[in-house]
Structure 1
Amino acid sequence: MIIIIGFEELHAFIQYIQLEKNYSVHTVQEYEKDIKQFLSFLNNEGVTDLNEVEYIHARLYVTRLYDEKLARTSISRKISSIRSYYKFLHKEYNVRDDAFQSLFHPKREKKLPHFFYEEEMVQLFEENKGTDSLSVRNIAILELLYATGIRVSELTSIELRHIDSSYGVVRVMGKGRKERYVPVGDFALAAIDDYLLNSRPKLMKKTSHTFLFVNSRGEHLTTDGVRYILNQMLKKASMNSTIYPHMLRHTFATHLLNNGADLRSVQELLGHSSLSSTQIYTHVTKEHLRKTYMNAHPRA
């Protein structure tokens, strides 16, 4: 379907968030997708001028999103994308931006993050041990994700020079291109050393680059590649669960809090800009304490 209005302005907006705001590739793609969908909706509604968009159009669009059974978080993200676009339009093209300003974000569904229990992590590590190149690499990936709580996108962007074994830290580039240093435990450092000594050189073959983790052909390992590896490790451990990379991030935070870490420290380690993003894990730890009490107290 041909989008009649907003296409040129969208191109300018995408350049703006890429070059001036320095948003990640993934974030830019999400913004572009959200706004294109909205422009397509306007086209279908017969709106031919961005200045013609009113609150009723915004309300109708959000209603359509609910009809499509989208998650509230997805709807909220789309509203934010369109608001940012209209803020840019108002500044650069003097387009009215009031249509979405009075639109409320849907209340976020209170879903507790899924995580692995400590004994499950032990099982995952034990069942995936091996001396072949891929097994050594996979353990290094699992150890680093669990030891640091970093995002998979942060993991795949790590270069050799970003690992400092002497200080036990790794430099990662987080959301909004924010750089932070995260401590790495001895188990993860040992696994990385093993990988660098006995696995990576064999996998690299005739390729040459500085990224830490590589695939079976020696090429830069992608986020999809990491997801595939983790799922294969889960199957190998015969664990009746579904794994997604963020589960290890959730596990990292939950285990720290369960073992006495303070919320501010966990926030800094995760690279969260606000404490509210980290506070979801307090609900997980409270639930953990409740279950422990119910299982342990003789009169519970």
Structure 2
Amino acid sequence: MENILVPAEDEVLRLRQDWLGQLAGERRLSENTTEAYERDTRQFLTFLCRHVARPVRLSDIATLRPADIRAYLAFRRREGVEARTLGRDLAGIRSFLRWLERRGLANAAGITAMRAPKQPKSLPKPLAAKDAVALAGQEAQLAEEPWIAARNAAVFALLYGCGLRISEALALTPGDFAGSPDRLRITGKGGKTRIVPLLAAALDAVRNYEKLCPYQIDADAPLFRGLRGKKLQPAIIQREMQALRGALGLSEKATPHALRHSFATHLLAAGGDLRTIQELLGHASLSTTQVYTGVDTTRLLEIYDKAHPRA
């Protein structure tokens, strides 16, 4: 990543670049997370430049007070930024300051003691089972090219059938399907690996795509390709999903990530236990998975309200 449009002195820029390099290298954070931390710290340094009325020096960062951080969060709030984004902003700045502190260049005690803005409670938005199954079927795909329709069906089948993140599905290679026909080894966030069951229907969708795909793909190369043969980008799948929403009469909550939510919610509704679902999703904390209990409770209450004679 290049240090562009960051109003800070060379020493600060160099240290920040070293920190970003360590995130991507030693800590093996995902590209999206690293880019988010780059953006968060760039925005903070831009604010701090205005705050001190000159390019930011290392001494400005070393002597940061909680009041300075609160001023930044208040500034971002006035820009209309929501609490969830503010929390991520704070996480990126905290990570940078702690990295500097370990090198004896700053004191992170002030920001470490600060609490992240209270997050609004929001439940995942799963699809009805019939809608999720319809989206994963090749007959529902709208692409004129048969191989592209097969590709979309295979991706959607993996998102719903295996509970994958879209980045995980698009990172799969032909070699990942060369082992056991009933399971996949997935590398998720932070380079962590997990084993997920591979449904026969999802494997059939992948094999059908491989048969129709016009490109020769090496065993260790990305399996899913765009129209010109390059690695398929998430935006293309999101656009395909948007088109399908209109064709199938689905709401705007029908997104690629909603298929992952649907996987978890439907498993829970069918009697799956939280710990197993946590492992299948690759969540580091059980508390992240517990949000799906709220989804299931909401669904049960809706059924109760509609069906119970005393409701």
TM-score (normalizing by structure 1) = 0.92
- Match for residue 190 of structure 1? 204
Asked if 1:146 is matched to 2:177, the reply is no
Partners of 2:170 and 2:207 lie apart in 1 by 17
Equivalent position to 1:18, from 21, 24, 29: 24
Query: Could you tell me how far 1:4 is from its partner in structure 2?
Result: 2.2
How far does the alpha carbon of each residue in 1:237-264 deviate from its partner, in whole angstroms, 9 at most, with x for none? 2324343321111111111111111111
- From 222, 232, 243, the counterpart of 1:232: 243
Structure 1: gaps of 5 or more residues: none
Partner of 2:223: 212
Deviation at 1:11, TM superposition (A): 0.9
For 2:82 and 2:178, how far apart are their aligned partners in 1? Answer: 40
The whole-number CA distance in structure 1 between the counterparts of 2:164 and 2:270 is: 19
Question: Aligned ranges for residues 1-300 of structure 1 at < 5 Å?
Answer: 3-5=7-9, 6-46=12-52, 48=57, 49=59, 50-124=61-135, 125=137, 127-128=140-141, 132-164=146-178, 166-197=180-211, 199-200=212-213, 202=214, 204=215, 210-300=221-311
The alignment yields a C-alpha RMSD, in angstroms, of: 2.0
Q: Does the 8 Å contact 2:194/2:282 carry over to 1?
A: yes
Between the two proteins, what is the percent identity of the paired residues?
A: 31
SS of the residue aligned with 1:181?
strand
TM-score by length of 2: 0.89
Question: 1:99 Cα shift?
Answer: 2.7
| Distance (whole Å) between structure 2 residues aligned to residue 235 and residue 135 of structure 1 | 16
| Equivalent residue pairs, number | 296
Letter in 1 for 2:23: I
Cα deviation, 1:104-128, whole Å, max 9, x if unaligned, reads: 1112110111111112224433533
Residues 184 and 249 (structure 1 numbering): CA distance in 2 closer, same or farther, change over 3 Å?
Answer: same
Paired with 1:194 and 1:62, the residues of 2 have a C-alpha distance of 50
2:119 alignment partner, SS class: coil
Query: What per-residue deviation string (whole Å, max 9, x for no partner) do you get for residues 224-246 of structure 1?
Result: 22212222232332324343321
Shift in Å, 1:82: 0.7
> Aligned pair in 2 of structure 1 residues 196, 91: CA closer, same or farther (>3 Å)?
same
Q: Report the Cα distance in structure 1 between the residues aligned to 2:233 and 2:6, rounded to whole angstroms.
A: 33
Aligned partners of 2:198, 2:240: CA distance in 1, in Å?
21
Structure 1 CA distance for aligned equivalents of residues 246 and 204 of structure 2: 24
Contact 1:143 1:188 in 2 (8 A): yes
